[in-house]
Chains A and B, each alone.
Chain A
Amino acid sequence: MDVLLDGVLALCLPLLAWLVLRTESLSQAVVLFVAFGLLSALGWARLEAPDIALVESAVGTGLTGALLMHTLSWTEETPPDIRARGRRRPWALLAVAASTLMLGWAVLALPADSPGLGPLVEARREESGVKHPVTAVLLNFRGYDTLLEIAVLLVAALGARAVNPRSERPTPDAGDDPLTGELFRMMMPALLLVAGYLVWVGDHGPGGAFQAGAILAGGGVVALLTMRMGPPRLSSWQVRWALLTGPMLFIGVAVAPLFTGRRLLELPRPYAGTLIFVVELALTVTIAMVLLMFFPGTRPPRAGAEGEP
Chain B
Amino acid sequence: MNPWAVYALSGVAMFSVGLVGLFSHQHVVKRILASNIAGSGVLIVLVALARRAPSGVPDPVPHALVLTGIVVSVSSTALGVALARRMARLRADAARASEPPPGSGGEGP
Chain A contacts to B: CB under 8 angstroms: 2-3, 6-7, 9-11, 13-14, 17-18, 20-21, 26, 29-30, 33, 36-37, 40, 43-44, 46-49, 51-52, 55-56, 59-60, 63-64, 67-68, 70-72, 74-76, 78, 80-81, 88, 91-92, 95-97, 99-100, 103-104, 107-108, 110-118, 121-122, 133-134, 136-138, 142, 145-146, 149, 152-153, 155-157, 159-161, 163-165, 210, 291, 294, 296, 301, 306
Are B53 and A21 in contact (CB-based, < 8 A)?
no
Contact among A104, A121, A159 for B9, CB-based, below 8 A:
A104
Min C-beta distance of B40 to chain A, whole Å: 6
Indicate if the CB atoms of B14 and A17 lie closer than 8 Å.
yes
In the bound complex, residues from chain A placing their C-beta under 8 Å from that of B82 are 159-161, 163-164, 294, 296
* B56 CB, nearest partner CB in chain A, Å: 9
A–B complex contacts, Cβ < 8 Å, 13 sampled: A17-B37, A21-B30, A52-B66, A68-B33, A71-B81, A71-B84, A76-B88, A92-B24, A96-B13, A99-B19, A114-B53, A153-B75, A165-B86
Q: When the two chains form the complex, which single residue of B49, B74, B78 contacts A116, counting CB atoms closer than 8 Å?
A: B49
Contact with A along B24-46 (1 / 0, CB 8 A): 11111110111011001101110
Which residues of A have CB within 8 Å of B2? 112
Of B14, B59, B85, which contacts A71 at CB under 8 A?
Answer: B85
Q: Cβ of B3: which chain A residues have Cβ within 8 Å of it?
A: 2-3, 6, 46
Task: Name 13 extra pairs, CB < 8 A, besides A46-B3, A67-B77.
Answer: A13-B44, A21-B21, A47-B7, A59-B70, A59-B74, A75-B88, A92-B24, A116-B59, A138-B67, A138-B68, A153-B71, A156-B76, A210-B67
Collect the chain A residues with CB atoms within 8 Å of residue B24's CB: 88, 91-92
Indicate if the CB atoms of B81 and A14 lie closer than 8 Å.
no
Query: Is A56 a contact of B59 with CB atoms below 8 Å?
Result: no
Residue of chain A at shortest CB distance from B40: A40
Tell me if B54 counts as interface (CB < 8 A to partner A): yes
Residues of A within 8 A of B8 (CB): 107, 110
A103 lies within 8 A of B16 (CB)? yes
CA gap between A81 and B55 in the complex, in Å: 53
CA distance A149 to B73 in the complex (A): 11
B104 CB → nearest A CB, Å: 13
Q: CB-CB < 8 A to A20: which residues of B? A: 33, 37
A291 to B75, CA, bound (A): 8
Indicate whether A107 sits within 8 Å of B9 (C-beta atoms), given known contacts A47-B51, A156-B79. yes
A95 to B82, CA, bound (A): 30
B16 touches A96 (CB 8 A): yes
| 8 Å CB contact of B78 from A76, A103, A156 | A156
Chain A residues in 8 Å Cβ range of B63: 49, 51-52, 134, 137
**In the complex, A149 Cα to B57 Cα: how many Å?**
27
- In the complex, the answer to whether A137 meets B30 with C-beta atoms within 8 Å is no
Which residues from B are CB-within-8-Å of A72? 29
Interface centre among B15, B45, B52, B78 (most CB of A within 10 A): B78
Residues of A within 8 A of B12 (CB): 99-100, 103-104, 107
Distance between Cα atoms of A14 and B73 in the complex (Å): 19
Complex CA distance for A7 and B9, rounded to whole angstroms? 11
What's the Cα separation between A142 and B68 when bound, in Å?
A: 10
- Report whether B7 and A10 are in contact in the complex, using a CB–CB cutoff of 8 Å: yes
Contact B7–A160 (Cβ < 8 Å): no
In whole angstroms, how far apart are the Cα atoms of A146 and B53 in the complex? 25
Q: Does B107 contact A (CB under 8 A)?
A: yes
Given contacts A67-B81, A165-B86, is CB(A134)–CB(B67) below 8 Å?
A: yes
Residue from B29, B60, B68 in contact with A30 in the complex, judged by beta carbons closer than 8 Å: B29
The answer to whether B44 and A43 have CB atoms under 8 Å apart is yes
